[in-house]
Structure 1
Amino acid sequence: MSLSSSQIESLKHKLDALKLRIQEDLRLHNPATQNISSEAGDGASGDALNHDAMSQFLHQHAEWEALQRAQARLSENIADVCKECGAAIPFARLEAEPTAERCINCQGALEADDKRLHLHTHSSM
């Protein structure tokens, strides 16, 4: 399983563009540089805004980590190998989601497990 040189270059360009977007998002939405205050009596609104800013920052940080893993996998010539089962990840999938680490089957199973866990944690409340 190996990607052609043009496929590798295409993925590199996509990852570079993603890197620039994430860096800009992290710079603009870093909770440490945003001082969201609330007026007296409106603490809940300020807390919600701070929570949203932190949530967005953590999501962007997770995207950054996925980007770093994708770049490492590409440099090791294993970008198209599923980290779960070792099957080939089709280039079309990588083109659509350059940080994909799993084949469609393994990703589907992971998402089904996540959904099952999510349903069970909420149904017991």
Structure 2
Amino acid sequence: MRHLSTTDRHTLHQQLEQLKRQVLEELRASAPSAYLVPAEGEHEVKSHADEAEAERAADVHMAEIEIAHTRLEEIERALARLADGRYGICEDCGAEIPRTRLFAQPTAIRCTACQAAAEARHRH
């Protein structure tokens, strides 16, 4: 974390906190809509197409909630790394993650080279 100034760390902390607030707001906003999905046997499905569309919409909603929870976990882990001095260090190779990458992707856990290698492994 030596490559980050005190101002950088403060700015990144603020950026992470803002991202956290945004994700929490997304989760709060999505919670009431969970009650809009009718319980089994309570809905008035007109056709199989309507039922399929209602199921698809519920699946999409649940996927969005899972993505938001994952983002929140990534933000929380980044804040923890920032607090304990591990922030900005690649988890794979131990090199410093470039400052520009951290400002573009404050939850980054890998340097660009290691991230590209990780993505290549997932594609194969």
Q: TM class, shorter-chain normalised?
A: 0.7 to 0.9
What secondary structure is seen at the aligned counterpart in 2 of 1:30? helix
How high is the sequence identity, in percent, across the aligned residues? 35
What secondary structure is seen at the aligned counterpart in 1 of 2:94? coil
Residue type at the aligned position of 1:35: L
Work out which of the residue numbers 89, 93, 96 in structure 1 matches 2:97: 89
Matching residue of 1:49: 57
Matching residue of 1:113: 121
Q: Which structure: larger Rg?
A: 2
CA shift at 1:77, angstroms?
1.3
Matching residue of 2:6: 5
Quick one: distance in 2 between partners of 1:11 and 1:27? 24
Matching residue of 1:70: 78
Q: Relative contact order (C-alpha < 8 Å, sep 6+): which is higher?
A: 2
Residue type at the aligned position of 1:78: R
Residue type at the aligned position of 2:6: S
Q: TM-score, normalised by structure 2?
A: 0.87
Residue type at the aligned position of 1:57: I
Matching residue of 1:98: 106
Kept after mapping to 2: 8 A contact 1:14/1:98:
yes
Give unmatched runs, 5+ long, in structure 2: none
Q: TM-score, normalised by structure 1?
A: 0.86
CA shift at 1:33, angstroms?
3.3
Of 28-37 and 41-50, deviating more is 28-37
What secondary structure is seen at the aligned counterpart in 2 of 1:89? coil
CA shift at 1:34, angstroms?
3.5
Q: Deviations over 1:88-108 (max 9, x none)?
A: 101110000000011101110
* Number of matched pairs: 116
Quick one: distance in 2 between partners of 1:104 and 1:6? 23
Kept after mapping to 2: 8 A contact 1:31/1:53:
no
Matching residue of 1:26: 27
